[in-house]
A and B are shown apart, each in its own frame.
Chain A
Amino acid sequence: MNAPFFKYGLFGDNVSLIIAFVIGIGFGFFLERAGFGNGKKLAMQFYFRDMSVLKVMFTAIVTAMLGVYYLSVIGFIDLSLVYLVPTNILPQAIGGLILGFGFVIGGYCPGTSCVSAATGKKDGIVYVIGVFLGILVFDEFFPLVKGLYNATPMGQLTIAQWSNIPYGLLVFAVVLMAIGGFIAAEWAEKKNAGKEGSVIPERMDK
């Protein structure tokens, strides 16, 4: 059996939607387990008081990255068939900054706001409405942003292809970077222990 199964025609479009639902359940389940239905917990990342966003995101990235890398090394999955969103550096950088602003103002990102809304949080529900409004504005004013949206096209591009550093070495570097990030995150949380919204409720030295 060769992966990705869908790309090898194991099932059709209709069945893929059922799989989407099942995968979505897993996604939503773990987001909620991590506490990502809680906007305040998410926002505390940006005050160095609860570094869950960084920890969860990088653990997830490292897990999936290692998995997909080793599975491609043993020939189980064809990495070239896994869809890459095409790179357009400029709109992605600006969009990223805007998204960051929205994150700290609103407390969520689109995926986590769905989980928050599903567990009955009013700020999550209002945030979801906000996302709809933002997309509506983008759609309506598309002619104005079209130039920026399509700027600096580089096609489907991995860091390995762009920098000519071997893929495996980059994987190793990301793992090291994540571990460094985790150590820093734990340190920051301890330093801010006892403050409003901190994941560690009381200072150890008290």
Chain B
Amino acid sequence: MNEFTTTRSNHLVDPVMHIYGWEIAVYLFLGGLVAGMMIVSGYFLYRGREKEDTCSCLYLPTLGIILLSIGMFALFLDLDYKVHVWRMYTTFQIASPMSWGAWILILVYPALILNMIIRLPWYLPTKLKFLFTWSEKLNSNPNYVKAVGIINMVLGIMLGVYTGILLSSFGARPLWNSAILGLLFLVSGLSTASALVHLITKNKEESITLAKADNGFLMAELVILFLFIIGLLSSTQVHINAADIILSGAYAPAFWVFVVGLGIVIPLIIQSLAVRHKIKHTPVAPIMVIAGGLVLRFVIVYAGQLSHWTKKAFLE
């Protein structure tokens, strides 16, 4: 059985690790995106905007469930022992981020469903009519709706942070040894979610609010990336070498060009001018933000696996 310890040297981890493929990157991206969507949707519920027919909070949970399920399926593809998945749920390990993640996901789905039933589609099958009674109960008191909003925001933050913590708990890869990774993925999730909603919403006011919010998140992301790199560079030589992989090494072109340039700085400039009415809104900036978020996960997952503690010893 190819079981590996994450904190000690073994043949799957050293000299280079190649166990995480595209599935993990896609999962982390979709997880972050859904986390951001939950926060956006939860915020709108909290502000009582669900009364507007065009509010994105009415369809975001459905979209979230679909995207999260695709992400979970990608993760499932990555597992070597697919039938053992259920074992995650027979235990709770307080020190294991995998265990935390499994349980957060179990809570995320009901939260999304709660958000969903605030406004039910009229074509719901008769078998599910009992949902209408629930929906009525939820809507009977604005505070209930607000509570659903808060639950979605809190779980969204937890999910977003968790996608980063999943990697940073992995002691064997120095690039990931940064607690800030959780914050980075959360903010990146928020920016991609804002971009997505800005792109698809039919509500003008909402679209502009989210473009503005997205600019804020993109700026925050730049600051966090800066802190992430500074943190690595001011650590041990091993961490400096790890940072060099994205600063000037094999993943530097992807990081600087696709993540920082095309994924953050250029859309930030374009979108800042658009919200100031200097230029027209085009779908290009939000698409760039979303693509940049995906590449960020790929770069961190792949470059992280390339970073190492002991390669030198292996090569000599």
In the complex, residue of chain B having the shortest beta-carbon distance to the beta carbon of A24: B257
CB distance from A26 to the nearest CB of B (A): 13
Are B252 and A14 neighbours in the complex by a CB distance under 8 Å? yes
The answer, yes or no, to whether B253 is at the interface (CB within 8 Å) is: yes
Q: Which of A15-23, A49-57, A135-143, A151-159 contacts B (4 or more CB under 8 A)?
A: A15-23
How long is the Cα–Cα vector from A181 to B250 in the complex, in angstroms? 46
* Chain B residue contacts of A12, Cβ below 8 A: 248
The answer, yes or no, to whether B256 is at the interface (CB within 8 Å) is: yes
The answer, yes or no, to whether B249 is at the interface (CB within 8 Å) is: yes
Are A21 and B248 neighbours in the complex by a CB distance under 8 Å? no
B interface, over-half SS: helix
The answer, yes or no, to whether A11 is at the interface (CB within 8 Å) is: yes
How long is the Cα–Cα vector from A21 to B249 in the complex, in angstroms? 16
How long is the Cα–Cα vector from A15 to B256 in the complex, in angstroms? 9
* Chain A residue contacts of B248, Cβ below 8 A: 11-12, 14-15
Are B257 and A14 neighbours in the complex by a CB distance under 8 Å? no
How long is the Cα–Cα vector from A11 to B253 in the complex, in angstroms? 13
The answer, yes or no, to whether B261 is at the interface (CB within 8 Å) is: yes
Per the 8 Å Cβ criterion, residues 31-79 of B in contact with A are none
Are B250 and A21 neighbours in the complex by a CB distance under 8 Å? no
CB distance from A34 to the nearest CB of B (A): 20
Are B261 and A21 neighbours in the complex by a CB distance under 8 Å? yes
How long is the Cα–Cα vector from A17 to B252 in the complex, in angstroms? 9
Per the 8 Å Cβ criterion, residues 75-128 of A in contact with B are none
How long is the Cα–Cα vector from A88 to B248 in the complex, in angstroms? 37
Q: Mark B105-147, 1 if CB is under 8 A from A, else 0.
A: 0000000000000000000000000000000000000000000
Most buried by B among A12, A14, A15, A17: A14
How long is the Cα–Cα vector from A21 to B256 in the complex, in angstroms? 9
How long is the Cα–Cα vector from A18 to B252 in the complex, in angstroms? 8
How long is the Cα–Cα vector from A21 to B250 in the complex, in angstroms? 16
Per the 8 Å Cβ criterion, residues 238-263 of B in contact with A are 248-250, 252-253, 256-257, 261
Per the 8 Å Cβ criterion, residues 208-259 of B in contact with A are 248-250, 252-253, 256-257
Per the 8 Å Cβ criterion, residues 241-299 of B in contact with A are 248-250, 252-253, 256-257, 261
In the complex, residue of chain B having the shortest beta-carbon distance to the beta carbon of A12: B248
CB distance from A121 to the nearest CB of B (A): 14
In the complex, residue of chain A having the shortest beta-carbon distance to the beta carbon of B257: A21
In the complex, residue of chain A having the shortest beta-carbon distance to the beta carbon of B256: A18
CB distance from A20 to the nearest CB of B (A): 8
How long is the Cα–Cα vector from A15 to B257 in the complex, in angstroms? 10
How long is the Cα–Cα vector from A74 to B122 in the complex, in angstroms? 79
In the complex, residue of chain A having the shortest beta-carbon distance to the beta carbon of B246: A14
* Chain B residue contacts of A17, Cβ below 8 A: 252-253, 257
CB distance from A131 to the nearest CB of B (A): 22
* Chain B residue contacts of A18, Cβ below 8 A: 252-253, 256-257
CB distance from B257 to the nearest CB of A (A): 5
How long is the Cα–Cα vector from A21 to B261 in the complex, in angstroms? 9
Are B249 and A14 neighbours in the complex by a CB distance under 8 Å? yes
Shortest Cβ-Cβ A-B pairs, 5 listed:
A17-B253, A14-B252, A18-B256, A21-B257, A15-B248
What are 12 A-to-B residue pairs whose CB atoms are below 8 Å? A14-B248, A14-B250, A14-B252, A14-B253, A15-B248, A15-B252, A17-B253, A17-B257, A18-B252, A18-B253, A21-B257, A21-B261
Chain B residues with a Cβ under 8 A of chain A: 248-250, 252-253, 256-257, 261
Chain A residues with a Cβ under 8 A of chain B: 11-12, 14-15, 17-18, 21
Other A-B pairs, 9, CB within 8 Å; known A14-B253, A21-B253, A21-B261: A11-B248, A14-B249, A15-B248, A17-B253, A18-B252, A18-B253, A18-B256, A18-B257, A21-B256
